[in-house]
Amino acid sequence: MAGERRGVIPQSEDFSAWYNEIVFRAELVDRGPVRGTMVVRPYGYRIWELLQADIDRRIKETGHVNAYFPLLIPESYLRREAEHVAGFAPELAVVTHAGGRELDEPLVVRPTSETVIGEMMARWIGSHRDLPMLLNQWANVVRWEMRPRMLLRTTEFLWQEGHTAHVDEAGALRETMLALGLYADVAREVAAMPVVEGEKTEGERFPGARQTFTVEAMMRDGRALQSGTSHYLGTNFARAFGIRYTAESGALEYCHTTSWGMSSRMLGGVIMTHGDDRGLVLPPALAPYQVVIVPIGHGDQAAAVQTAAADLTVRLRRAGIRAHLDDRPHVSPGFKFNDWELRGVPIRLELGPRDLADGAALMATRLGACKTAVPLPSAPERLTDELAAFQALLLRRATDFRDSRTRPADTWAEFTDAVRTGWTLAFHCGSPECEDEIKAETAATPRCIPSDGPPEGGRCVRCDGDSAYGRRLIFGRSY
Amino acid sequence: MAGERRGVIPQSEDFSAWYNEIVFRAELVDRGPVRGTMVVRPYGYRIWELLQADIDRRIKETGHVNAYFPLLIPESYLRREAEHVAGFAPELAVVTHAGGRELDEPLVVRPTSETVIGEMMARWIGSHRDLPMLLNQWANVVRWEMRPRMLLRTTEFLWQEGHTAHVDEAGALRETMLALGLYADVAREVAAMPVVEGEKTEGERFPGARQTFTVEAMMRDGRALQSGTSHYLGTNFARAFGIRYTAESGALEYCHTTSWGMSSRMLGGVIMTHGDDRGLVLPPALAPYQVVIVPIGHGDQAAAVQTAAADLTVRLRRAGIRAHLDDRPHVSPGFKFNDWELRGVPIRLELGPRDLADGAALMATRLGACKTAVPLPSAPERLTDELAAFQALLLRRATDFRDSRTRPADTWAEFTDAVRTGWTLAFHCGSPECEDEIKAETAATPRCIPSDGPPEGGRCVRCDGDSAYGRRLIFGRSY
């Protein structure tokens, strides 16, 4: 039962312990029987469904179609792209036996599907008329994690993976950036996470990609969460799998491909972007219940209050609000308040005999200090506005937080100081060894070369070499 | 490309070859790289999404909530229920290595999730107040099949699996029948498949179930397709996993559990229930495109026709119709007609200069012999009605077909004759050995004890023993 114990470990005391307590007590997830696996419980899964529906709509609106590819992939497929197998080999789960006997060739449980989709694209694409091919898959993937963390890094997770093929680099790059923009929009408009878009440095690229782009979000402990990535794969996978087309000229050409993914890890991002010491704080767009109504009344008055609360619930639902009537008879209103606070419900409405006599309900928002009376007749319109305001407030609050924790650094002292509590904007020489040294000393890595970073020259914050990117990079510790 | 070759192998010549040709040429599926695996291509996946959305809505409306459980299950879990492991052991795919090393305990890729969900229910259920617990999962499952068949039996398939826990047998049985009714409604109302509901005999039960119920559909070759099953599991899994609750009396009791599933196999059912020698025939409720508009016009007239066709498409879409404008410039109208016939689009509208002058489009339904003029102004209303009529026609046609291929049999000669082309209603003694003999000689098995079969006594059609079920069983060959 949620809310059985009062009080949550404060974020400031131990952010990691706070996170673990929240995800379990709010009944978002549970540990699976196998180390590193996760069960997504109904309350957590509903948040995922809402996120999924929104992403799916945007993916379809931009001309992509869903399909489904096999879970089990011949081990040899991964070896066809050298960087790809090097990147994923340590994380693979391998099926060696099936149907009561040992398999001739081991099968890997997909860690991602570039290989098997590449094989099928090669079969399906003949002419330039078949391009672009714009596919998406909703699936589970398995990556054996050494340091599992609920929702952020589990051996299995849920995601969508877009896979597209194009006639040339320009088309594939446009697609790569379209997917990146889609992720930035989802993060901001739905999850209220003010992400920064940018490109990854060479050392942080997807194994097999020519370029990797990312949306990075700042969590309330100042760390970065990579929240979605979009890869331009060049002709690497096209060459490995023979994805070719006949051009109008009659020549046989390799396709340029992309892939891009966003996952259930976003739920972890929502928790760590908005949550506080009382529990979750959910953006209305992702809240299973946007408004919870708690009837309060004893004896003779209970029936009238109950009727009015049920009526209000129906009216809110008709206005498109996900309203929930908490009429559990065996727990107190105080218990319910704490429970829904823990679960991050944006708005709570209390309805007692006195409120009913006044023709109003008492509204408390998840972040507000005081309660406000909401006249019952106009409640649906008022709550619709309040929810929109709450969604906007979360984005603004998170943006302010991120900005307050992001500082430029021109000296190593400024750099080490800044990444202790947040992000820093600094120049870098582009050398992978220099990146490694920074990571070894500070645990900070280049999160991205921000797309909207102004052109600027300077010296590497670590080794004083020439700046390689013509602008500052964002550095920070990450999940 | 679909439609590249004219003509399809006739059903009457080789039903199995017809089926294979249809699923590949209509681009519903493709073979995956590993034997027995399947790729669901965008056109097939869209049908699945439409089916899934309908099932999901019904599941939620009846009070169930979605959740997600791990793909990989400790091998030991399956052994906790003796019948369960005996039933599934031959079909398991086993992960023995992960993260670069051999695992201490092998993990099976879920063939179904009673075990892992049972483990979690045991953790979550404390008191009778937590019951009933009504869960559903959308997932992929893996069962190593010896004789794979696209959509019907593949090593991996997509499904939903409901898992519920109740205080007693009565509650669990009500749930079992609720799920069965839900499946029957989906089959009839959405897939236009006139299924028969009934109980499985002991030999056909789900491994670990006390009772298994099924909805059985007849394909156009007279064979039966088990299209959804619902199981009352008694306290078998509750005892194996310790799913217990504290009753109001304070006593600790075992839960009674159920499970029920419907899968992507339904797509195979749709194909084999409605398809004909020209290709697929899709019920409008599951058709990715319910109406396809083909503009016809040359030279000067092309632009006006194109504009009118685009306008008509928009108007149909506004009326809630999934309309598609086929404006491919490089293929002929004749090619398009064949292509959309093969893909089973319920209604085709042709729009040429003469039609436009008449203010009408020419309508051809997928099963109709002649074309009808549909006035453009009222097209949305008319097409809405036509689609409803087409959906009803498919169900009626399939019902007539099933009834024409179902005969009672009171002698062994009548029995063997009937199951050659369809189903038979016959008495049976209830002995598993007698069932096995019938199967060995005729390939027919008891499909179900029909729920609405009238009480009737008689002698076993095979061994002349006493009838065990108080009514006739349906026998037939199956997929």
Instruction: Write the ipTM.
Output: 0.96
B128 lies in some domain? yes
> Cα–Cα distance between B389 and A214 in angstroms, integer?
50
pLDDT score at B7: 75
> Do A67 and A137 form a contact (C-beta atoms < 8 A)?
yes
CA separation (Å) from A154 to A20, A30, A430, B124? 13, 12, 31, 21
Structural domain contains residue A283 = no
End residue of a domain, out of A245, A274, A303: A274
Q: Which tokens in the block code for residue B276?
A: 């004909």
pTM of the model: 0.96
- Span A234-292, pLDDT tens digits: 999 999 999 999 999 999 999 999 999 999 999 999 999 999 999 999 999 999 999 99
Range of the domain at A382: 289-386
Q: What span, in angstroms and rounded, lies between the C-alpha atoms of B368 and A3?
A: 62
Q: Which of A247, A274, A301 is the last residue of a domain?
A: A274
Helix (H) or strand (E) holding A291, with range, is strand A291-295
* Chain B nearest C-alpha distance from A242 (Å): 15
Residue A395 lies in a domain: no
Position A66 scores a pLDDT of 98
- State the Cα–Cα distance between residues B348 and B340, nearest whole angstrom: 8
User: Residue A91 and residue B73: Cβ atoms within 8 Å?
Assistant: no
Q: How far apart are CA A261 and CA A141, in angstroms?
A: 11
| B443 Ramachandran zone, left/alpha/beta (phi>0; psi -120 to 50) | left
Chain A nearest C-alpha distance from B370 (Å): 33
Residue with tokens 């298994």: B212
CB B461 within 8 A of CB B415: yes
What's the pLDDT at A2?
43
Residue type at position A83:
E
A88 lies within 8 A of chain B by CB: no
- Find all residues with CB under 8 Å of A115, minimum gap 6, and list them: A73, A77, A78, A80, A81, A84, A237, A240, A241
Answer whether residue A399 is part of any domain.
no
Does B347 map to a domain? yes
Question: Do residues A109 and A149 share a domain?
Answer: yes
Residue in the block written with tokens 């064949």: B338
Mark whether B175 and B318 lie in a shared domain: no
The CATH number given to whatever domain includes residue B166 is 3.30.930.10
CATH number at residue B412: 3.30.110.30
- 3-class DSSP assignment, residue A244: strand
Backbone Cα Rg of chain B: 25
Tell me whether residues B120 and A30 touch, CB distance under 8 A.
yes
- The CA R_g of chain A, rounded to the nearest whole Å, is 25
Decide the pairing of beta strands A38-40 and A445-450.
unpaired
Distance between CA B185 and CA B2 in Å, rounded? 32
| B316, containing H or E segment | helix B299-318
Q: Is B24 on the interface with A (CB under 8 A)?
A: no
Query: What would the DSSP string read from start to end of A403-456?
Result: HHTEEE-SSHHHHHHHHHHSEEEE-----HHHHHHHHHHHS-EEEEEETTPPP-
If one counts every other C-beta atom within 10 angstroms of the C-beta of residue B376, the result is 20
Counting every residue written for chain B, the total comes to: 479
Interface A:B, Cβ pairs < 8 A: 165
Instruction: Give the whole-angstrom CA distance, residue B81 versus residue B115.
Output: 8
Q: Where are the beta strands (DSSP E) in B167-235?
A: 196-199, 211-218, 224-232
Cβ–Cβ gap B93/A91 under 8 Å:
no
DSSP state of A90: G
Q: What is the pLDDT of residue A3?
A: 42
SS (H, E, C) B389-404: HHHHHHHHHHHHHHHH
Cβ within 8 Å of residue A466, ≥6 positions away: A429, A459, A460
Nearest CA in chain B to A69: B39
Q: Which DSSP state fits A284?
A: G
Contact B27, B44 (CB under 8 A): yes
CATH number at residue B367: 3.40.50.800
Residues 384-423 of B with CB under 8 A from A: none
Give every CB contact of residue A421 below 8 A, 6+ residues apart in sequence: A222, A405
Pairwise CA distance, residues B186 & B179, whole Å: 11
**Residue A110 placed within a domain:** yes
With respect to residue A242, please indicate whether it lies within any of the assigned structural domains. Answer: yes
Q: Which site among B72, B123, B137 would you substitute to test the A interface, given the most A Cβ atoms closer than 10 Å to its Cβ?
A: B72
pLDDT score of A298: 79
Packing angle between helix A299-318 and helix A379-404, nearest 10 degrees? 70
CB distance A147 to A266 below 8 Å: no
Q: B433 Cβ partners below 8 Å, 6+ apart?
A: none
| DSSP-derived 3-state class of residue B287 | coil
Mean pLDDT, to the nearest integer, of A124-148? 96
Between CA A39 and CA A33 the distance in angstroms is 9
φ and ψ of A122, to 5 deg: -60, -35
How many angstroms separate the CA of residue B296 from the nearest CA in chain A?
21
CB-CB under 8 Å, A139 with B34: no
The reported pLDDT for the residue numbered B6 is 60
Best CA proximity match to B361, nearest among B317, B319, B300, B311: B311
Q: Are β-strands A156-166 and A256-263 bridged in parallel, bridged antiparallel, or unpaired?
A: antiparallel
Of A139, A154, A159, which Cα lies nearest the Cα of A33? A154
Residue B87: closest CA among B195, B233, B197 = B233
Question: Given CB atoms, is B32 within the 8 Å cutoff of chain A?
Answer: yes
**Same domain, yes or no, for B329 and B465?**
no
How much helix, strand and coil, in percent to the nearest 5, is found in chain A?
40, 25, 35
Ranges assigned E (strand) in B336-439: 347-351, 360-365, 372-375, 406-408, 423-426
CA separation, residue B211 to residues B184, B230, B427 (Å): 18, 8, 20
Indicate if A268 and A293 belong to the same structural domain.
no
Same domain, A230 and A311: no
The three-state secondary structure class of B423 is: strand
* Whether residue A155 is found in the same domain as residue A62: yes
DSSP B221-267: TS-EEEEEEEEE-TTHHHHHHT-EEE-TTS-EEEPEEEEEEEETHHH
Instruction: List the single residue in B37, B90, B119 with the smallest CB-CB distance to A100.
Output: B90
Q: Which amino acid is at A212?
A: T
Does residue B10 lie within any of the structural domains?
A: no
pLDDT (0 to 100) of residue A5: 52
Q: Does an H or E element contain A473, and which? A: strand A473-476
Give the 3-state secondary structure of residue A159.
Answer: strand
| Cβ atoms within 10 Å, residue A68 | 23
- Tell me how far apart the alpha carbons of residues A456 and B280 are, in angstroms, rounded to a whole number: 61
CB contact under 8 A, A49 and B66: yes
- H/E run at residue B450: strand B445-450
B73 and B125 part of one domain = yes
Q: What is the number of other CB atoms lying within 10 angstroms of the CB of residue A374?
A: 20
Unique residue bearing structure tokens 């070894």: A440
Say whether both B230 and B348 belong to one domain: no
Residues B66 and B133 both lie in one domain: yes
> Does residue A260 share a domain with residue A147?
yes
Of A42, A100, A156, the CB nearest to B70: A156
Mean pLDDT of A303-314: 96
What span, in angstroms and rounded, lies between the C-alpha atoms of B448 and B446?
6
Question: How far apart, in whole angstroms, are the C-alpha atoms of residue A426 and residue B108?
Answer: 48
Q: With CA atoms as reference, report the closest residue to B164 among B15, B64, B41.
A: B64
Q: Which pair of tokens denotes residue B479?
A: 């997929």
Between positions 142 and 171 of A, the ones with CB within 8 A of B are 142, 144-146, 155-156, 158
Same domain? A440 vs A370: no
Nearest-angstrom CA–CA distance, A467 and A172: 28
Residues A240 and A306 in one domain: no
Chain B: closest CA distance from residue A205 (Å): 21
Shortest CA distance from A38: residue in chain B: B70
Read off the tokens for A140: 């589970």
Q: Give the C-alpha separation, B337 to B347, whole Å.
A: 11
The Cα-based distances of B121 to B8, B174, B371 in angstroms read 50, 20, 58
Give contacts of A93 with chain B, Cβ < 8 Å: 72, 95, 97-99, 107
pLDDT per residue as tens digits for the range A62-77: 999 999 999 999 999 9
Q: Going by C-beta distance under 8 Å and a sequence separation of 6 or more, which residues neighbour residue A52? A: A138, A160
Domain count, chain A: 3
Closest by Cβ to B70, choosing from A32, A74, A90:
A32
**Amino acid identity, position B168:** D
- The alpha carbon of residue B338 and the mean position of all alpha carbons in its chain are separated, in whole angstroms, by 26
- Tokens 């994805």, residue located: A243
Beta-carbon separation of A72 and B37 below 8 A? yes
What is chain A's mean pLDDT, rounded? Answer: 96
Q: What integer pLDDT is reported at residue A408 of this predicted model?
A: 97
Q: Give average pLDDT by consecutive 10-residue segment, chain B, 479 residues.
A: 63 96 97 95 98 98 98 96 90 96 97 97 97 98 93 97 98 98 98 98 94 98 98 98 97 98 98 97 98 91 93 98 95 95 98 94 94 97 98 98 98 97 97 96 97 94 96 97
Single out the residue in A386, A417, A452 at which a domain terminates. A386
A42 touching chain B per CB within 8 A: yes
